[in-house]
Homo-oligomer: A and B are copies of this chain.
């Protein structure tokens, strides 16, 4: 069917081994034959068979990326980044969708190593730690976005504490002191970490943490809507809401529209993670960018290095954090008439009576 190495060798009247050496450039052939063979190979349209090669070398030039889904915008850009980077390195990406389901994850993982993938970037569910650990002996693995606590795998994480801190501080600087937080489940790392960043910013500014303003849960848009309603129905509703959960944003926006609440005039809204349409929404929605692009790039970097390192390595660092970034658009507004704030960024004022207030702020119970 297709042209094999043997055909090339025959056409060039050399042995298969010579042909192989010439084309792979192992350097053990004379300059002349090498050139001659590459020419002939090109003329014949020879393409090496990765399967045969893989059988011998134990490599497949396949790298898998296992994510939960593709509806999440972050996963989309990550997939695109990973694909592009890998392709440039001569690998094919094997994109798998695990649906955040441990069983399916486990299934997929075994299929993948069956296929002798050369590397794996995975957003772990967290329930297959032992399996992952075992696989890591055979193939370089990098965890992305989530950590699997049962393993000591190299992990690339978003800096959620910092991101939440940044976002909250932004709102504080705009004069908000009652800031609602809609955040993810507290048994996920990101849920915990985003809450902690929020709390830190508040404390630093000497603002007491009000439990009633903090709502956590396993979010789908519906729950986002519910939480938003709860916040707005409070006797003293917040002047700003920080939706620190991707899925919840949709629901929150809907409630806000239903109630004819004007953003940012009546309420400031800040979201975590970007979506393509946030920029086109009116008002354009300010966000904390978790740096999906950077995360993916770093994960690929790490993976490639481990793949080069060939099993040795394990050079100490196991966890990388990628900085978050505040993207100011039009959904947050200054509410204090007090400081005219002509001059650049308002400074954060951690000194102002922070100590006295700190004791007053009870830790959030969610």
Contact = CB atoms under 8 A, between A and B. Distances in A.
Interface of A: 1-2, 47-52, 54-55, 58, 60, 62, 69-71, 73, 76, 79-80, 83-84, 87, 92-97, 108, 110-112, 114-116, 138, 221, 250-251, 253-254, 257-258, 275-277, 280-282
24 contacts: A1-B138, A47-B114, A49-B55, A49-B116, A50-B116, A51-B115, A51-B116, A52-B55, A55-B55, A62-B115, A70-B70, A70-B79, A79-B97, A83-B96, A84-B97, A87-B108, A92-B94, A92-B96, A92-B112, A92-B115, A221-B280, A250-B277, A254-B281, A254-B282
Given A51-B116, A110-B47, A250 B221 contact: no
Contacts of A54: 51
Given A97-B80, A281-B254, A51 B47 contact: no
B114 A49 contact: yes
A312 B1 CA distance: 17
Contacts of A221: 280
Given A94-B92, A96-B83, A138-B1, A55 B47 contact: no
A139 to B, nearest CB: 11
B69 A80 contact: yes
Contacts of A277: 250, 275, 277
Given A80-B69, A92-B94, A114 B251 contact: no
A97 B79 CA distance: 9
A92 B111 contact: yes
A95 B92 contact: no
